[in-house]
Amino acid sequence: MSNEPAIEARGLVKSYGGVRVLAGLDLQVPRGSVFALLGPNGAGKTTTVRILATLSRADAGQARVAGFDVDRDRRQVRRRISLTGQFAALDAAQTGEENLRMIGRLAGLPRAAARRRAAELLEQFDLAPTAGRRVGTYSGGLRRRLDLAASLAGRPAVIFLDEPTTGLDPQSRLTTWRAIAGVAADGVTVFLTTQYLDEADRLADQIAVLNGGLLVAAGTAAELKHRVAPQRLDLTCSNATAFEQVRSNLTHPVVHLDPAARTVGVATDGSAAQVRALLDQADPGRDLVASFAVRGATLDDVFFTLTAATPAAPPAAATAPAQEAAHV
């Protein structure tokens, strides 16, 4: 029992209206670790979370969470987990403290214990100053933090966080990260989904990259980063012919293509020597490339590298959101 992983999924398959969202997902999350499921919109992240948190049933495959089967022992699983979705699961017309007390009591705490737990959580998440205000008046960051606090009210063994910082400003993102790290430090197993590489990097012990309903890579942040160039050199060409010419000149992996802007992106370590060499390779006659920029690798670049897919424009991330929105 104690050696059993907190989360274990085998061959999860789920389709919505003929669209296959998960195509046989396997994953394992050790107890007390932080696991990040990284992927673009529409990759199947929310679907995975909903199945593991017992809110949806998989069409095929099995999953065990906190020692119980998510399908056969729903109640047992629900007693040991909590889920914080993409939309704040709080009552806007109740105060922060009232929300925490209500959720604590629904999680099975007696009245007095729920009040104590609420006070503890308000303290732990720096929410005490706003505890008496209605949640409707909270900022986005404050609301996320309260939401996170609420998911801990019943002392779950495993918490699921679906895109915990999407839509937050940088400052609130940092505070939310600190709060999540604090939760993990208490020994709770954290399963989070994210679209941001830096978020997974910052928080997770293990990262799995989900694309098109399948894991395309898994490992620690360092392992994944090793497989991805940290920077991207964007070459903007003077015209459409030059764009094609530059593409064919490059032998280095192209990770980004934007014909409309006539931009070709190649992976680079960002060193002056390599940038100079790449420019020479792309544009030996010095008349094709109008300008260039070196920028940090984006998640798209990671995907292109990890999936070895040919970059397409618009990138996959931009075409998929409708799919995910349709089944939430």
Residues that bind another protein (CB under 8 A): 53-57, 74-75, 78-79, 81-91, 93-94, 98, 102-103, 105-107, 134, 150-151, 154
Q: How far is the CB of 171 from another protein (least distance, A)?
A: 23
Asked if 309 and 217 touch (Cβ cutoff 8 Å), the reply is: no
Q: How far is the CB of 53 from another protein (least distance, A)?
A: 5
CA dihedral 216, 222, 225, 226 (to 10 degrees): -100
Nearer to another protein by Cβ, of 106 and 309: the residue is: 106
Q: How far is the CB of 83 from another protein (least distance, A)?
A: 4
**Sheet bearing 206-211, strands edge to edge:** 81-84, 158-162, 189-194, 34-38, 206-211, 214-219
Q: Before 314, cis peptide (omega within 30)?
A: yes
Nearer to another protein by Cβ, of 240 and 325: the residue is: 325
Nearer to another protein by Cβ, of 57 and 72: the residue is: 57
Nearer to another protein by Cβ, of 68 and 303: the residue is: 68
- Token digits for 27? 């994953």
Nearer to another protein by Cβ, of 105 and 145: the residue is: 105
Q: How far is the CB of 119 from another protein (least distance, A)?
A: 18
Q: How far is the CB of 176 from another protein (least distance, A)?
A: 16
Cα 122 from Cα 116, distance rounded (Å): 10
- Token digits for 176? 């939310």
Task: Please calculate the CA angle 285-286-288 and round it to the nearest 5 degrees.
Answer: 95
Cα 318 from Cα 89, distance rounded (Å): 27
